[in-house]
Structure 1
Amino acid sequence: MTEHITRQVNTVDELVAIAELVDIIFFEVSGKRTSADPLEESAAATDIEIAVRSRIDGVDVRCLCRVTGGGGEYVCDAAAQYEFGQPATVAEEVLTAFVQRVGIMTVYPYLRESITASATKLRLDPPLLRLLRPGDVHATPKS
């Protein structure tokens, strides 16, 4: 019988050391023209929702981004999946810091690319997504 020892993770550095990005999963990518004239609309409005699913052997960071403006509406819903390589218990504040400093920053370029590609296919000027900084968005834990 193999015994699994659960590692206690107390710092972001410890979590980064054991976390391995194993996949980026897209749940939705869409874009559509709106009836609005793209030249009359102001800057794009962006809404980002973050959900976190923590497991004994990893964590998933899911980002749902909705952008409206410039004559289009766009949605990209994607997640970064990390595995720890061993069972681990992660302190809540460590997980929060990891999600904001690593998890969201991993997914964000995929959101940008998807939204830009959708706008290009619709022959609209791609909306410029703002720079995200740690603390700009907050995660909702999922079981």
Structure 2
Amino acid sequence: MKSVDSALEVLNFASLDAIQFYETSARLNAGFPGDFTTTEESENTSEEPTQEWLFSIQKSPDHINFRARLEIESNDSQYVVDVAAFYSFTEPLSISDEILQEFINRAAMIAVYPFAREALHELARKVNAHVPILGIYNPGDIAVDLSIAEKRPSASIKPPKELS
């Protein structure tokens, strides 16, 4: 098994095999009088939408699967975009947590971010809501930090059927 010294070196052995959506949803908070979905008002009363990113990572010597879930709530709508990137390696790799974190923040997140942005814009268009703007990805603003990540077993992230 080859040991790698940087995220850039991981990229030399990596192939992005697929981008897979797991969920895309939009909910318009405004509606008909007597809206049957809820009688509660949105908790977000500010003008700025709130964003929450959640991440799931699977690593083995022959692949990395990275899943990012974006939840946004504004005063007129709510959105969820859940998307994953599947990487395989040309040979088995030994990757430290430090290098994995760099790879996720500098490669995998950059791969999924434009898909999340486009899905968010399309969802807002479909429900005729104000479009929350996701700016240019900045690893300083949205970053996976493995040193504070909760270590717990998780369900397997499965690649799309054609890759299995």
Is 2:74 the partner of 1:69? yes
**Equivalences for 1:1-143 in 2 at 5 Å?**
6-35=1-30, 42-135=47-140, 136-139=142-145, 140=149
Return the alpha-carbon distance in structure 1 between the equivalents of residues 80 and 3 of structure 2: 37
CA-CA distance at 1:69 after TM superposition: 0.9
Name the SS of the counterpart of 1:111 in structure 2. helix
* Same amino acid, percent of matched pairs: 25
Q: What TM-score, normalized by structure 2, do the two folds share?
A: 0.75
Q: Residue 134 of structure 2: SS of its match in structure 1?
A: coil
Cα RMSD for the two superposed structures: 2.0
Aligned length in residues: 136
Tell me if the contact between 1:41 and 1:71 (Cα under 8 Å) persists in the aligned partners.
no
Q: Distance in 2 between matches of 1:110 and 1:70?
A: 24
> How big is the shift at 1:41?
5.4
Cα deviation code 1:104-140 (max 9, x no counterpart) = 1110111111111011000112111244322432254
Which sections of structure 1, spanning at least 5 residues, go unmatched? 1-5
> Does the CA contact (< 8 Å) of 1:19 and 1:84 recur in 2?
yes
Instruction: In structure 2, list runs of 5 or more residues that go unmatched.
Output: 31-40, 155-164
* Contact map agreement 1:28 1:77 (CA 8 A) in 2: yes
CA contact (8 A) 1:52 1:61 kept: yes
Give the conservation status (yes or no) of the 8 Å contact 1:46–1:66.
yes
